[in-house]
Amino acid sequence: MLLIRFFVLVTLVGTGLFIETVAAQQEKAESQTKPEPVPFHSMSLPGLDNVFQIDKQFYSGSGPHGELSFQALKKLGIKTIVSVDGTPPDLEHARKAGMKYIHIPIGYDGVSEDAGLAFARVARDLKGPVYIHCHHGKHRGPTAAAVIGICRGTLNQKSVQQFLTQAGTSKDYAGLWRDVKKFKVPDSNAILPELVESAKVPPMVSAMAQISHDFELSDQLLQNKPENRKQRLRVLVLLREGLHETARKYSGDYDEMFKQWLTESEQQVKSLELAVQQGDQQAFTTGMKTLKFQCKRCHKAYRD
Ligand code: HEC
């Protein structure tokens, strides 16, 4: 009896092992036929961040600032730069380096139908090499590049998801991910918009682009060096005025809370100025953090 039991046990264990081995082999075979996706080529260029090559002719990355970065794009062979940022493109530097600009500003909340059609036109008419950028090259730029890649037929729904992940596009900007996912290439007979080198942007967007510029400058001046102090104060005054003017002139389309938040930020900048005047580095550092939190709080509620 004991012997029979032992036999049954050995058979059962044996069968189990056999099944497991077959399953493992199948899995291995499957993973061999499904190769890991190849990462997009990431490049290091002077004065530019988050640069990726999306296909043979198209690149995506951060906005160029100053001679060095435009020269780097020229060296790469770029003929046209496409900006999706709210800041007016630096046409002068581009022209000097022999490049054209196309401006299709988009928000953080998604790709409008018009912007989608304009991206289709970029894909149809620009032969490349083309460099697509927003400000940091992480969210809106890669989104635009993804849509353009789909129109060009060089990217598909699977590879764009991989590309956005690699570029660091935040899932917080759900509208960007959503609009890439639902994007349909326009029919070949669709009327596509004219492309312009510098588009008109709503005053709220321009004001925010300026606020952002001044905020980043103050952030870079975070280090408490004596030579930074004067410049810090100058930038903070500009930032405070920007917030004040935005509340006064452009908050009419929003509710009371919106205006109140802008006023709170204006007061926050005032306390930063005080911290600089008193040489209180600790107060300046924590004050900058509070201000950053205020930017994000409003964007979450009203923008993204
Ligand atoms: C009270 C609300 C509010 C506050 C505070 C605020 N923003 Fe904004 N910001 C907005 C809104 C709304 C938009 C979108 C405007 C649009 O697209 O119409 C925006 C857009 C932006 C943009 C995108 C501009 C573009 O290129 O399209 C940047 C960058 C920005 N804000 C930076 C900042 C920074 C930095 C701060 C803090 C110092 C800040 N914002 C504070 C409401 C706010």
What mean pLDDT is predicted for residues 172-192?
Answer: 95
* Tokens 């029919």 -> residue: 187
Measure 295 CA to ligand 1 centroid, in angstroms.
Answer: 7
| Nearest CA, atom 16, ligand 1 | 205
| Secondary structure of residue 79 in the 3-state scheme | coil
Query: How does the average pLDDT of the chain come out, rounded?
Result: 89
211 lines ligand 1 (CB under 6 A): yes
Domain at 41-181: CATH code: 3.90.190.10
Could you tell me the two tokens for 16?
A: 């189990």
Q: Given pLDDT bands bounded at 50, 70 and 90, which one contains residue 279?
A: confident
CA atoms of 276 and 237, how far apart (whole Å)? 12
State the CATH class of domain 203-302: mainly alpha
The closest alpha carbon to 151, from 127, 107, 116, belongs to 116
215 lines ligand 1 (CB under 6 A): yes
CA atoms of 103 and 196, how far apart (whole Å)? 6
Quick check: 16 pLDDT over 80? no
Burial 112-129 (b: 16+ CB within 10 A, else e): eeebbbbbbbbbeebebb
CA 104 centroid distance within chain: 14
Closest atom of ligand 1 relative to the 259 alpha carbon: 1
Half-sphere exposure of 140 (CA within 13 A, CB side): 24
265 lines ligand 1 (CB under 6 A): yes
41-181 and 203-302 share one CATH topology?
Answer: no
Domain-by-domain residue ranges, the chain?
41-181, 203-302
Q: Residue 172, exposed/middle/buried by CB under 10 A (0-12, 13-18, 19+)? A: middle
Measure 236 CA to ligand 1 centroid, in angstroms.
Answer: 17
| pLDDT of res. 143 | 98
Q: Given pLDDT bands bounded at 50, 70 and 90, which one contains residue 17?
A: very low
End-to-end C-alpha distance for the chain, whole angstroms: 73
| Secondary structure of residue 65 in the 3-state scheme | coil
Dihedral angle, C-alpha 107, 113, 116, 117, nearest 10 ° = -140
Measure 21 CA to ligand 1 centroid, in angstroms.
Answer: 57
Measure 247 CA to ligand 1 centroid, in angstroms.
Answer: 12
302 lines ligand 1 (CB under 6 A): yes
Quick check: 249 pLDDT over 50? yes
| Nearest CA, atom 6, ligand 1 | 295
Looking at per-residue confidence, does 1 or 177 come out higher?
177
| pLDDT of res. 118 | 98
Q: Cβ(56)–Cβ(127) under 8 Å?
A: no
Measure 42 CA to ligand 1 centroid, in angstroms.
Answer: 29
209 lines ligand 1 (CB under 6 A): yes
83 lines ligand 1 (CB under 6 A): no
Q: What is the pLDDT of residues 81-124, one digit of tens each?
A: 999 999 999 999 999 999 999 999 999 999 999 999 999 999 99
